[in-house]
């Protein structure tokens, strides 16, 4: 079998599942990138694709607990990350260096993630069919 997996369960025989990695690099507020990424992830999951999310650089702030958006004039969408599991989006990763450089720890994050080194991130990216950066 190639790096595409044929679906044979749930009546979807013959469908193709691709591995999508969504890389979130930007802070959660001040632009639409973080929210747009989340919407695209949910769409991919709805189409039963193999979806993973990677948070690096300022993107790790998207997962920070206790976000106060009152001054941003934007709704706090971070609780939506807790709902990803309901859409079978369970592969969440964060860059160790990005977390540490921003003074965060895993305990500061709203959902559990697998913390990866830069070398592990390279390997993860190499395993994907599609990598989209937001």
Name the band, by pLDDT with cuts 50, 70 and 90, for residue 9: very low
Q: For residues 33 and 75, what is the distance between their CA atoms, to the nearest angstrom? A: 14
Q: For residues 62 and 103, what is the distance between their CA atoms, to the nearest angstrom? A: 14
Residue 8 has pLDDT above 50, yes or no: no
pTM here?
Answer: 0.83
Catalogue all structural domains in the chain, each as residue range(s) with its CATH number. Answer: 16-133 (3.40.1260.10)
pLDDT at 92: 97
Give the Å distances, CA to CA, from 110 to 35, 53, 66, 91, 129.
16, 14, 8, 14, 28
User: How do residues 39-88 score in pLDDT, each as one tens digit?
Assistant: 999 998 888 899 999 999 999 999 999 887 777 777 778 878 888 988 88
């Amino acid at each position: 079998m190639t790096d595409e997996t044929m679906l044979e369960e749930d009546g979807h025989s013959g469908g193709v599942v691709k591995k999508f990695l969504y890389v979130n690099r930007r802070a959660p507020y001040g632009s639409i990138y973080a929210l747009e990424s989340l919407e695209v992830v949910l769409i991919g999951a709805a189409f039963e694709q193999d979806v993973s999310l990677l948070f690096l650089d300022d993107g790790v702030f998207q997962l920070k607990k206790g976000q106060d958006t009152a001054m941003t004039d934007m709704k706090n969408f971070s609780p939506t990350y807790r709902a990803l599991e309901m859409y079978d989006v369970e592969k969440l990763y964060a860059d160790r260096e990005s977390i540490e450089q921003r003074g965060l720890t895993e305990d500061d994050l709203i959902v559990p993630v697998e913390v990866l080194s830069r070398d592990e991130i390279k390997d993860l990216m190499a395993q994907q069919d599609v990598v989209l950066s937001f």
